Structure 1
Amino acid sequence: MSPFYSFSAESLTGQPVPMADYQGKVVLVVNTASQCGFTPQYAGLEKLYQTYKDQGLVILGFPCNQFGGQEPGDAAEIAQTCQLNYGVTFPMFAKVDVNGSEAHPLFQWLTDAAPGMLGNAIKWNFTKFLIGRDGKAIKRFAPITKPEALADSIRAQLNP
């Protein structure tokens, strides 16, 4: 079994969620922020989710305040931004660190399994990690990569 399925994280509503719940799905993990120049990507991520969720895609959003303090809010504020401003319906999780000694174990694994161009550390909000149906990390996408640009990679995993 892939290490991905051994992790769990706290949902935005405070419930533990095992990644094993997503076994057999194509997963896109994204570190997010509500006050970032890339925040409008929530809309594109939601569009991807609506387009491909019935084929097996799930998007997991992980708010992070490590980059410019761009996610200062609590869970209720994060939920309000996601749902009211961008109509987000994909699963959102409690705020996490994605870099450093306090990084969530899932992100420690992701950054090792799909290193970046300039090292393993995540450089900014809206870094995206594509996980195949087998739980293996396929690819990391930079924050500037718009969600719609991921469609071909997602389709390739959904329909190998």
Structure 2
Amino acid sequence: MGASPSSPAAIREKSIHEFLVKDNHGNDVDLGRYRGKVLLVVNVASKCGFTDKNYTQLTEVYNKYKNKDFEILAFPCNQFLSGEPLTSQQAENFACERYKAEYPIFQKIRVNGPDTAPVYKFLKASKTGFLGSRIKWNFTKFLVDKDGIVIDRYSPTTEPLLIERDIQKALGEI
């Protein structure tokens, strides 16, 4: 019996640093550039009940740790009740203008189904959640260590400030 596309056996990559993603202009971004940084990877949306609290707290967490080898990688996704109807560029503008986001906001992706972005196949295979490997909703978060290995997965209802202690541990602060 063969491995399913999202099973760990089907994922050859050993770290997030082995993936290429697209910025919101369609240019390739090698995630290897984040080697040595703790990452919080999150699927974001501008029209969701979780938008205001998450974006506000993501900016707060980012501002606290951005100078301490920490980065947030945001991926707009429109798979949950059309929560992200904006284009990739509009989604970035929304986050930067309204929430003062300074972290990278990449091209819109799919996080579930047959067209799932490869980086999300890796993340989901590394840490399953309440619905198994499927992403439950907007603002599901993955904490990744400096070597590119997924440490933990957090539900959409877990506020970014509640992850702060785990970020500090991953940074070696506690």
Same fold per superposition (TM over 0.5): yes
Higher mean displacement: 21-30 or 112-121? 112-121
The structure number with the bigger radius of gyration is 2
Q: Establish whether residue 137 from structure 1 lines up as the match of residue 147 from structure 2.
A: no
Q: Residues of 2 paired with 1:134 and 1:56: CA distance?
A: 12
Instruction: Name the counterpart of 1:50.
Output: 63
Instruction: Name the counterpart of 1:149.
Output: 162
In the alignment, which of 41, 45, 64 is matched to residue 33 of structure 1? Answer: 45
- 5 Å-filtered alignment, 1:9-158, equals 9-40=21-52, 41-158=54-171
For each residue in 1:60-113, what CA deviation from the matched residue of structure 2 results, as whole angstroms up to 9, or x when unmatched? 000000000110111232122111111111011000000111000000010010
Q: Residues of 2 paired with 1:118 and 1:147: CA distance?
A: 20
Higher mean displacement: 104-113 or 1-10? 1-10
Q: Residues of 1 paired with 2:165 and 2:130: CA distance?
A: 21
RMSD, matched Cα: 1.2
In the alignment, which of 3, 11, 19 is matched to residue 15 of structure 2? Answer: 3
Q: TM-score, normalised by structure 1?
A: 0.96
Q: Residues of 1 paired with 2:14 and 2:171: CA distance?
A: 18
Q: Is this contact kept in 2: 1:2–1:134, CA < 8 A?
A: no
Gap regions ≥5 residues in structure 2: 1-12
Specify the code of the residue in structure 1 equivalent to 2:14: S
Quick one: percent identity of the two aligned structures? 39
Specify the code of the residue in structure 2 equivalent to 1:138: I
Q: Is this contact kept in 1: 2:15–2:147, CA < 8 A?
A: no
Q: Residues of 1 paired with 2:145 and 2:117: CA distance?
A: 20
TM-aligned CA deviation for residue 123 of structure 1: 0.6
